[in-house]
Each structure stands twice: as structure tokens, then as C-alpha cells.
Chains A and B, each alone.
Chain A
Amino acid sequence: MNWSRRLINPVIDKEFRLRMRSTRSMLSVLFYILALGTIAMGFIYLFLYLGNRGPQRFDPQVSQMMFYVLSFAQLVLIAFMAPALTAGVISSEREKQTLSMLLTTQQSSSTIVLSKLVSALSFMALIVLATLPVYSIVFLYGGISPKQLISVFLFYLFVMLLLGALGVMFSTLFKRTIVAIIVTYGVGLIIFLVTGLLYLFFMGIEQRNMYVTGQPPVAGTHSWVGYLLGLNPAGAMMSLFDSSFSKEAFLLYGGNLNSKAPIELWLEFVIVYSVVIVLALWIAIRNIRPVARRRKGEEPAEQLPQDHSTSENGV
């Protein structure tokens, strides 16, 4: 009984109730699974009936490919879903004028922010888990280990945490939900697309430099450009599927295939973005209430800035 009271604080309890009671939530589950299901069905249809060698057998290789396709499709769906579900958690309370009353309760700023994030994450996890039946098609034909599936789902959880933390942060920074959502999508776009494009761009330049200078790659060297791909969720996920992918990412054509990658892409992804997550949450928690700057003297500050201060007196 005690653990559940500790785990389910009032804010989480309320968030769960509100979310599970709205028809919108149920509809989003429905459409999400429909979307992923359609992709799976489309894939099967394309391969089984439209292959250029006539109807094919659905062998483990094809099912592995299908697993990749589903996993990337799901990653894209998450990128669309996470900002929409998290960027409004604080600003919508402000818009509905319920925030001030919540802030005068005994709940700490960190409890409020983290509970809202956890509740949004739980809902997203529920949606993602609800797509498992779609994956069962893959398992029917083999070619994928449960370990791979679990690592992909854990990776999703991390991506949701990342986008969620950013969403919550922007939700506290901007007064209007719509602005917070748009900015979160913008940052999501940078993480998902711009990092990938930068990788391709700089890889091209590096590659050209190599040919122009005619310098043969030294054994054991790797290009710094590979780190860029580690910032991209798709790149990081690919390295989860295929352990040689990280190595290739750092490699220029003609390089030494035996040289090891300096870091696994997914590991880089997790490390770098863990810092981002912590930072975003810290900013969110600090911003939700006005915080007085702790002063050494007795007299109150001449000017107490509303948002920019250093200590966490209000937490």
C-alpha cells in the first residue's frame, strides 16, 4: 500500500484519470495502431504479391526486413506523437487557468513536472506496447530475436523520454501550448532530420577531401563525422540492429575495415541525450514557479527576477 502511495502521487493519479477518460486518448491509440498495421499489411502485400518474381515465400530475411521497416515507421510515429502529448502538459493548465491553484498546493515543482512527464510517457508506452500484435507477424516468420525487440522498445522509451523532456521544458517556457508544440516539433526535426543530413553532407566533404588529397587512409583512423550519425535516432537504432553499423558509420570508403568504431552509435546517442534530458527537466522544474534568489544578507533583494535565478528555493 505504501509503495503505491509513493509511486502514484496525486498529480499522476489525476493525469491518469483525465487521460484515460478522454475519448481523444482512445482515438489516438486506435489511429496509431491502424497506421502501423497499415504499414505492416502494405509491406506484406508488396512483398508477397508484387515481387518481380511473382508471389514469394515469406522467409526470415523478409521478415527481418519487415521488422526494420516497422521499427523505423514506429520511430517516426513516436516523433510525431511525443511532442503533441507532452508540450501541452504545463501550458494547457495555464491556458485552462488551473495552474495557479495547482501551484499553491504542497506539491513540489519537481513532482509536478516529473509526474506529468511520467504520465505522458506511460500513455505512450501503452500505445507502443499495444502495437506488439503487429510485431507478432514478424515473429511468426522468425529472423528476429526477442532481445532485439526488447532493445528496440527500450530505445523507443528513451526517445520518448527525450522528446517528452523537451516538450515539458518548452511547455513551461512558452505561455501558449501551440507555440510549445511547434517549437518541440522544430527541435524534433533537428534531432531526426538535420543530424542525418549533416552527417551525409560532411561525409561527402570528407570523402572528397580524401580523393583530392589522394592520401591513403591510415589504418585505425576513423572520421569524426561518424559522431554526427550518433546524434540521429535512426542511426542509433540501426546500430542496435546491426552491430557492424557503428563501425561503418565512422568509415570512409577505402578505409580499414578492421578498425573499430570509437563508440557504438546508440551508446553515444544515449549518453549525449541523457545530458539533454537532465538539462531540459532541470530548466522545466526551475521555471514552473517563480524562485527567489537566496541571498546572504537579511534584507530582501532589491530586485528579484521572476524567471532567471539560480537556487531552487521553491522546490
Chain B
Amino acid sequence: MIEIRNLSKRYGTFHALKDISLYIEKGTVFGFVGPNGAGKSTTMSILATLMLPTSGVAKVGGYDVTRHPKEVRKRIGYMPDFFGVYDQLKATEYLHFYGASYGIPRAEREQLIPQLLELVNLTDKADTYVDSLSRGMKQRLCLARCLVHDPEVLILDEPASGLDPRARIEMREILKELKQMGKTIIISSHILPELAEMVDEIGVIEHGEMVAQGKVSDIQNRLRVTKVIHIRTLERGEELAEKLRDEPLVTSVLTDNTGVHVHYSGDDVQQSELLRKVISWEIPIVSFQEAQSNLEDVFLEITKGGPRE
């Protein structure tokens, strides 16, 4: 459905994207992860026909984004990372406007719009002016907007950014529903756990390069066996790291100024044994904590063996 071959983008002399290749099957939910400035939004703008690549090919549904932008636009629903609303329009009028802009006849829109509002839980806000909606509501409205022309592909640039945890969960529920409807979705985020639950495949991008790409289940399996334990000591951190490297269930140890990061593949019982052991070494420990598996860990985890696939 989405095909990217050797895509590069330069802003002046700055290489924002370097030879990215990507293939996404129909019906797949693809998570695009990477730190700030990695090039996620750039890739998505190119897919959304808003920007021309410097070189390379990007295709949506078989149509080249630079040669047949109009065909591509028909097939995509794009949600930018930052977006505004027309403040003098009501929610329904807002959707009517975009619906009409996609050439959907009025009668059809009259039926469609209540369904869309229902989908994003905004039915009771139908007659509210969009600028008086909360940020989360605006984001959901924008998602509804992406769906007016029933596109096969959704390009969502950080749809959950700036949302509170509850709104994030709501957004996730909506996306699950869309996935069930068979949409191909490409969604970006710099928080992996947020994506892990709903995406099928994941691509990690950093400094404009695809560092890793694969099925999320593979990555999750790896994550499940190794957790990261963060140990903070008053002193003798290096010594602790040395000793830990000899432990059987420890896969790797990293130290930095925040402390020692231990990649550990034992279960909870074994972990408590490890803690007892560490204390017995009489190194002054301030904290011993299982870190939230975050993007950084995944990076370390995935990039350890070089890019996969």
C-alpha cells in the first residue's frame, strides 16, 4: 500500500532523510518511532504530497506522490503534528467543509458526519464552535476529518501528542476501531509503549536513517525477556558494573552519569536474588529500580546487533 524507495530529503545542506526504504502492506498498522528531529514528520509530509523528496520514490496505492499527487490525496487521510482549526466554524460545519473539499455530495455528508462524530465521541459537541473544543477534542475532530473521504491509508503524525493519559487511551481505542475497519495506518510517536500495543510493525528512525524495522511481536519478545534495571550508587559504579557483568542472567551492562543500566533476563524471583547479592557487595546503593521500557532501551536493544532485515 505504501512503498518508499531510497527516499532522501535535503533542507539546504542538511540531510533530513537519508535513503529511507519502507514497504507497508495493506491493512497494516505501522508505527514510526524516533527521537525529535529524526525525520518522521518529513517522511509523512512527503507521503501526504505536501513536500517533494530530493530523490527517491514514494508511492501510495501504487501512485507516485510527486507524479500523481491528486490520486494520492484521494487515498490518504493526513493528520499533521501541529494543526489549527477555523475558529468560526461549528464541528459539523468543519467536517462539511472538508467533506465538500473532497467532493462528497451534501446528502452523503449529512449521513456520514453524525457517524464520524459518533466514532470519535463528539456527538454532543456537533454544534459547538471548534475553537472552544479542548485540545483532545480537537485532535479527535481532526481524526474524524481525516476519515471523511474514507481513505484507505491514514497518515497520523503524533495523534496523541499533548493528550492526557485518559485521552490517549481514548485515541488508542479509536485507532483500534480504525484498524478493524481494515485501514492501513502509519502513525508516528516518540514513545514506544504507546504504540506497541496497537501497531503490527514498527520502524525506528534516527538522524534520517531507518535503524530498525520489523514486526512488533519480534521486538516485544526481545523486550519481554530482557528488562532494564537502573541502579544508582553513591560511588563505585564501575566496580558494580564489572561485578554484574559476571552474573549469568545479565545480558549487558551500561553505565552513564545517571547510574548503571542492567539488561536482565531473569524473572521477579531471580531479580530479588540479584538485589540481595548486590547489597551483599556493600556498594552504597541509592536505588534499584526496574526502568520503564522506553524508546532508548529499544534503541539499545535493537541496534545492538546492527539493523535488522
Interface residues of chain A: helix, strand, loop or mixed (majority): loop
Q: Are A98 and B84 in contact (CB under 8 A)?
A: yes
- Beta-carbon contacts under 8 Å, B18-74 to A: 45, 48-57, 64, 66-67, 69-70, 73-74
Stretch of A13-21, A146-154, A185-193 at the chain-chain interface: A13-21
Q: Are A105 and B73 in contact (CB under 8 A)?
A: yes
Some 5 contacts from A to B, beta carbons below 8 A apart, are A17-B88, A17-B89, A106-B101, A303-B55, A313-B67
CA–CA, A219 to B132, complex, Å?
A: 73
Within the complex, the shortest CB–CB distance from B91 to chain A, in Å, comes to 14
Q: Are A13 and B85 in contact (CB under 8 A)?
A: no
A100 within 8 A of B: yes
Contact with B along A6-32 (1 / 0, CB 8 A): 000111011001100110000000000
CA–CA, A105 to B95, complex, Å?
A: 12
Are A10 and B145 also in contact (CB < 8 A) when A17-B89, A290-B50 are? no
CA–CA, A305 to B102, complex, Å?
A: 28
Q: Are A100 and B78 in contact (CB under 8 A)?
A: yes
Residues of B within 8 A of A314 (CB): 49, 69-70
Q: Are B49 and A104 in contact (CB under 8 A)?
A: yes
**Nearest-neighbor residue (CB-CB) of A22 within chain B:** B88
Contact with B along A131-158 (1 / 0, CB 8 A): 0000000000000000000000000000
Which positions in B face A, CB cutoff 8 Å?
A: 45, 48-57, 64, 66-67, 69-70, 73-74, 76, 78, 80, 82-86, 88-89, 93, 97-98, 100-103, 142, 145, 149
Q: Are B66 and A98 in contact (CB under 8 A)?
A: no
A259 within 8 A of B: no
Are A100 and B97 also in contact (CB < 8 A) when A17-B88, A105-B73 are? no
Closest 8 CB pairs of A and B: A10-B100, A105-B101, A97-B84, A292-B66, A96-B84, A21-B88, A304-B52, A290-B52
Within the complex, the shortest CB–CB distance from A250 to chain B, in Å, comes to 50
Contact with B along A101-115 (1 / 0, CB 8 A): 111111110000000
Residues of B within 8 A of A17 (CB): 88-89, 93
- Beta-carbon contacts under 8 Å, A170-216 to B: none
Residues of A within 8 A of B86 (CB): 14, 18, 96, 98
A300 within 8 A of B: yes
Q: Are B85 and A98 in contact (CB under 8 A)?
A: yes
Within the complex, the shortest CB–CB distance from B107 to chain A, in Å, comes to 12
Residues of A within 8 A of B50 (CB): 100, 103-104, 289-290
- Beta-carbon contacts under 8 Å, A290-306 to B: 290, 292, 300-306
Q: Are B55 and A313 in contact (CB under 8 A)?
A: no
Residues of A within 8 A of B84 (CB): 96-98
**Nearest-neighbor residue (CB-CB) of A96 within chain B:** B84
Are A102 and B101 also in contact (CB < 8 A) when A300-B66, A302-B55, A304-B54 are? yes
Residue from B74, B78, B145 within 8 A of A106 (CB atoms): B74
Within the complex, the shortest CB–CB distance from B128 to chain A, in Å, comes to 14
Q: Are B83 and A18 in contact (CB under 8 A)?
A: no
CA–CA, A314 to B142, complex, Å?
A: 24
Q: Are B100 and A13 in contact (CB under 8 A)?
A: yes
CA–CA, A212 to B76, complex, Å?
A: 74
CA–CA, A101 to B79, complex, Å?
A: 7
**Nearest-neighbor residue (CB-CB) of B101 within chain A:** A105
CA–CA, A9 to B53, complex, Å?
A: 31
Q: Are A300 and B55 in contact (CB under 8 A)?
A: yes
CA–CA, A22 to B293, complex, Å?
A: 49
Residues of B within 8 A of A103 (CB): 49-50
With A101-B145, A104-B76, A289-B69 known, 10 other A-B pairs at CB within 8 A are A9-B100, A14-B97, A101-B142, A103-B49, A104-B73, A106-B103, A300-B55, A304-B53, A304-B54, A313-B66
Within the complex, the shortest CB–CB distance from A142 to chain B, in Å, comes to 44
**Nearest-neighbor residue (CB-CB) of A103 within chain B:** B50
Q: Are A313 and B69 in contact (CB under 8 A)?
A: yes
Residues of B within 8 A of A97 (CB): 80, 82-84
Are A290 and B67 also in contact (CB < 8 A) when A97-B82, A101-B80 are? no
Residue from B57, B88, B101 within 8 A of A11 (CB atoms): B101
Q: Are A107 and B53 in contact (CB under 8 A)?
A: no
